[in-house]
Amino acid sequence: MSELFDAVDALVASASALPPPEERKRLRVAHGLTLEQVSGALKVRRATVSVWESSKNKTEPRGPEREAYARLLRQLAELYPAPAATAAPGQDTVVPETFTGPAAPAPREAGSADLSPESGSVPETSALADAPDVQPRPVRAPASRTTAVTRGPSASRRPAAKKATAKPAAVPAGVDPRFANGPLAVVDIDADGQVLAYCVGGLVLDVPAKSMPALVDWTLREAKLGAPKLVGPGKDADPLLVLTEAALERYGLPVALTEEERIAGRIPEGHKVIKQLARAEWKLTKRGFGPWARIYRPATGSERACVQLCIPSWNALDTRHWGIAGQLPPAELARLLGTYASRVMTPRGSTAVTGLELMTALHPPTRASEPDVDGKRHSEHNPGSLGKEPVDCAPCEAPDGHPLLAELPRFHVRGPAEKLFEEAYDWARPLTDAECMHRNLVGLDVNMAFAAGANGLIVGLGAPTHVKAPAFDPKLPGAWLVDLSHVDLSRVKLGKEWVELDGSLLPSPFTPKGERPEGPAWYVTPTVAYAQELGYEVRPVEAYVRYENGRYLDGWYTRLRDAYLATMADLGVTADLSPAEFLAAMDGYRGRDPELAIVVSAVKATVKGGLGKLRERPRGEGWRPGQAWRALSRPTWRPDIRAAVISRTRVNLHRKIVKHAAFTGQYPVAVNSDCVVYAVDGESPLDFLPYREGKPLPGGFKLGVNPGLVKHEGTQTTLWGEGVREQYKAPELNLARYIKDGTVTDKDNGE
């Protein structure tokens, strides 16, 4: 009898509930899985899985295959929840949209790159939907007149145009009905050869377009893709289509660019797809049909007709910033890019381009005027913006080869008295005998350092004014020719008190290499103001100042800060953690959700790349020294703003270093950009940072996730540091560059 009972129990246990066939297919398609992938995992034939998804066939899986299939469907159902309600016949189906967290709020409108992105490897597993605190937000599929359909238990694959009684879908509160399906979609081909558009939240749309012109037209008319403007005078974000390799083949585009096309950054003008677009009266921007192509028709009034393409296989998603994003299945890629788009903005190109475009999106150059006597409004300058026209930089701010320097002798090398040298730190020194006795080298890295440097910074908005023998004003942005060689770091003022330090162990705050200035040099306002703060008099010889100024970067900082903090919170690192809890949360945070970690890397790269774009150099184009290059025609080509942010970031770090030295007697042995290394006996920052009852040294280093606070960059032994310096015969090799994982290559040292 017991054997019979055991058999019955096993039979009941094996009877795992399965969703209806339509739901099985919806879940598979939502995750971007093909029939071959599922059948391969379950070790059954492709046709078998197809039968399981067919409502016309009553064959059900049995035995171990049923258990495995049920497990797969349960996990997919957690990632892509079923609709909250099933629409009645003739109505639209509600499909939930799942983000990995709340979007960063649009900030209030206030009053390469020369910066390299932060490094860090990105693991290749997990999914965005596993992030904690996911709050589903419903979005309706579009009420299409062609073939846009939803994937739900009662969704139909028949064209919506055949539903004569279909009513427009009601859009939830807070969602712009024009962009009900999110900012972007990943276009791919399923196992049945159907073109599908994977949107955020698991929504999948059928795409009827047979050609590239038809795809652009469908996107603008039916797809309901895009994003609303970030501020009142701004513009709505154009819809973004990400084309997979299969989609490229379907629409007649190459899967990869040739070497010649890669160098040119586009396919040839005579390509058949470009001819198709031209016949349909679509235009391309000057950069042509490349990895980030923009296809448009000239705007009529306030109506825009523009679609942007992102082509990962053409290296649109640089692996330095986006990791493995370009290799993800369509649904996962849509969620990843959708998270970035909702928290930062819809990508407009590389992270650097997007960082620059975000500045303009938050401070549009023009706005609508008040009505005139006839009741009409006109375009006028938007206060606080950089305007529509570029302004000339000061001669000292101009990089080598700029047209302002065309009269200089060909091989003339400008020194500090002719050229502004405001760059990030790259400084190191030999260890003292006492430091060699310590066991370890511990690195601290400042979170979002350059974003923090931009916060609250007053920058110039207009052209510079040349002034002779000016009185220095710390609130006036500009470039100042002043001698700071008399500033002695052995005796500095902290607040109202003078303190004695070992100045030989400190980097100078006035030069990127940490060397003491030898005479007059050009500095921007934050650098000169810091010399005053340290207790020394400054007497500029001349200056280029900007009387029209403001806190242009405040909204930009706020948007990127909120995006960074929201994503880190999804990864389990929040701002309310104690120092010990913070270090524990940071340990392996990327592995908790590698795809969300990609978003973090992209946000960081957006900060640094955007600032680097403010002084973009020539990029080929047959340029010769003394000639203008394309970037100079932009109002956002502003090397003075970039210099001010870098200066303030460097000064902020030096201030912390000085306060730490005055309080603890510990001095850094290396500083690289936003990373500083100390020789200590412990292995953790908690072993040497001066915390009292959980409170850090005021004005010093503080552990935490917020921009401007620090995290543990890495720990290596002192023997390691001395060993690599001896190996490369470089007593002042910058150990801060390699403290993360201890890897030093011959390439890094020019061998």
pLDDT band at 137 (very low <50, low <70, confident <90, very high): very low
What is the reported pLDDT for 282?
96
Which of these ranges, 52-61, 232-241, 277-286, 383-392, has the smallest mean pLDDT?
Answer: 52-61
Q: Is the pLDDT of residue 747 over 70?
A: no
Average pLDDT over residues 165-173: 47
Q: What is the pLDDT of residues 443-501, one digit of tens each?
A: 999 999 999 999 999 999 999 999 999 999 999 999 999 999 999 999 999 989 999 99
How far is 322 from 598, CA to CA, in rounded Å? Answer: 6
How far is 99 from 104, CA to CA, in rounded Å? Answer: 12
Q: What is the pLDDT of residues 618-646, one digit of tens each?
A: 987 789 999 999 999 999 999 999 999 99
Which of these ranges, 102-111, 218-227, 399-408, 681-690, has the smallest mean pLDDT?
Answer: 102-111
Q: Is the pLDDT of residue 114 over 70?
A: no
Whether the bond between 428 and the residue before it is cis, its omega within 30 degrees of 0, is: no
Average pLDDT over residues 362-379: 85
Which of these ranges, 60-74, 235-249, 301-315, has the smallest mean pLDDT?
Answer: 60-74
pLDDT band at 26 (very low <50, low <70, confident <90, very high): confident
- Percent of the chain exceeding pLDDT 90 equals 68
What is the reported pLDDT for 71?
86
Which secondary structure element, helix H or strand E, spans residue 78, and what is its range? helix 63-79
pLDDT band at 7 (very low <50, low <70, confident <90, very high): low
Considering only CA atoms, which of 611, 547, 545 is closest in space to residue 397? 545
Residue 673 near residue 514, CB atoms below 8 Å: no
DSSP state of 703: B
Residue 584 contacts by C-beta under 8 Å, 6 or more apart in sequence? none
What is the reported pLDDT for 99?
37
Residue 740 contacts by C-beta under 8 Å, 6 or more apart in sequence? 119, 120, 443, 713, 714
Could you give the 3-state DSSP secondary structure of residue 678?
strand
Could you give the 3-state DSSP secondary structure of residue 186?
strand
Could you give the 3-state DSSP secondary structure of residue 586?
helix
How far is 655 from 643, CA to CA, in rounded Å? Answer: 18
What is the reported pLDDT for 237?
94
DSSP state of 192: T
Considering only CA atoms, which of 127, 244, 231 is closest in space to residue 196? 244
DSSP state of 628: -
pLDDT band at 87 (very low <50, low <70, confident <90, very high): very low
Burial class (CB within 10 angstroms; exposed 0-12, middle 13-18, buried 19+) of 182: buried
Residue found under tokens 């890629």? 333
Residue 730 contacts by C-beta under 8 Å, 6 or more apart in sequence? 749
Residue 562 contacts by C-beta under 8 Å, 6 or more apart in sequence? 104, 105, 107, 343
Which of these ranges, 26-35, 276-285, 287-296, 608-617, has the smallest mean pLDDT?
Answer: 26-35
What is the reported pLDDT for 376?
83
Average pLDDT over residues 418-429: 97
Average pLDDT over residues 379-384: 91
How far is 336 from 127, CA to CA, in rounded Å? Answer: 9
Structure tokens at 134: 């996911």
What is the reported pLDDT for 170?
53
Q: Is the pLDDT of residue 181 over 80?
A: yes
Q: What is the pLDDT of residues 400-409, one digit of tens each?
A: 999 999 999 9
Residue 694 contacts by C-beta under 8 Å, 6 or more apart in sequence? 578, 579
> Which domains does the chain show, CATH number per domain?
2-79 (1.10.260.40), 94-102+116-349 (no CATH)
How far is 283 from 412, CA to CA, in rounded Å? Answer: 44
Average pLDDT over residues 203-221: 96
CA distances from 274 to 198, 286, 295, 665 (A): 25, 13, 10, 66
What is the reported pLDDT for 133?
34
What is the reported pLDDT for 57?
58
Greater confidence, 109 or 310?
310
Greater confidence, 30 or 565?
565
Burial class (CB within 10 angstroms; exposed 0-12, middle 13-18, buried 19+) of 514: buried
pLDDT averaged over every residue in the chain: 85
Residue 93 near residue 150, CB atoms below 8 Å: yes
Angle, helices 330-343 vs 554-570, to 10°: value is 140
What is the reported pLDDT for 56?
60
- Percent of the chain exceeding pLDDT 70 equals 84
pLDDT band at 91 (very low <50, low <70, confident <90, very high): very low
Q: What is the pLDDT of residues 226-268, one digit of tens each?
A: 999 999 899 999 999 999 999 999 999 999 999 999 999 999 9
Considering only CA atoms, which of 359, 399, 397, 403 is closest in space to residue 610? 359
Average pLDDT over residues 555-564: 97
DSSP state of 179: G
What is the reported pLDDT for 379?
84
Residue 571 contacts by C-beta under 8 Å, 6 or more apart in sequence? 131, 589, 590, 592, 593, 596, 597, 600
pLDDT band at 109 (very low <50, low <70, confident <90, very high): very low
What is the reported pLDDT for 96?
36
What is the reported pLDDT for 464?
97
Residue 733 contacts by C-beta under 8 Å, 6 or more apart in sequence? 428, 724, 725, 744, 749
pLDDT band at 512 (very low <50, low <70, confident <90, very high): very high
